[in-house]
Amino acid sequence: MARKAKAAPRRRRPKVISLLNIGEGIAQANIVTQAFLGTSAIGFVLDDPMQPGVSIRDAIQNPQKLSDKLGQTMTFENVAMTAFQSALLNVGFRFGRRALRGSVNKFNSSVMSPLALGIKL
């Protein structure tokens, strides 16, 4: 008797957007852009003229400026400090999520789910 073909594994995507995940992503991006480009992640994307450093517009118009800035900041000490800050942020978010799990679940079920916006905390 022939074997039945095994179905391909299905990948599941979350159906809602987590505000904590967005916050963690922005914080991680901020650590990297601050260390290597001299500006915040928001300043890099929105091209804030009040902030020093390289913006996305500068990188497109003058790639040499981006290359020079990265060449100046790509030192072992800077990379090690960025990795340490990133790891510490990751541990902090994990600890915070575990500590606040009950409150976050209650808030999501009582406030966010009835609104049906596709957003959770």
pLDDT 10s digits, 89-113: 999 999 999 999 999 889 888 888 8
* pTM reported for the whole predicted model: 0.76
Residue 52 reports pLDDT greater than 80? no
What is the C-alpha to C-alpha distance for residues 120 and 110, in angstroms, rounded to an integer? Answer: 11
Rounded to whole angstroms, how far apart are CA atoms 70 and 45? 17
Q: Enter the tokens of residue 48.
A: 């804030």
Closest CA to 121 of 28, 106, 90, 42: 106
- Give dist(CA 120, CA 37) in Å, integer: 32
For residues 114 and 6, give the distance between their C-alpha atoms in angstroms, rounded to a whole number.
Answer: 38
pLDDT tens digits for range 1-46: 677 778 777 777 777 888 999 999 999 999 998 888 888 888 888 8
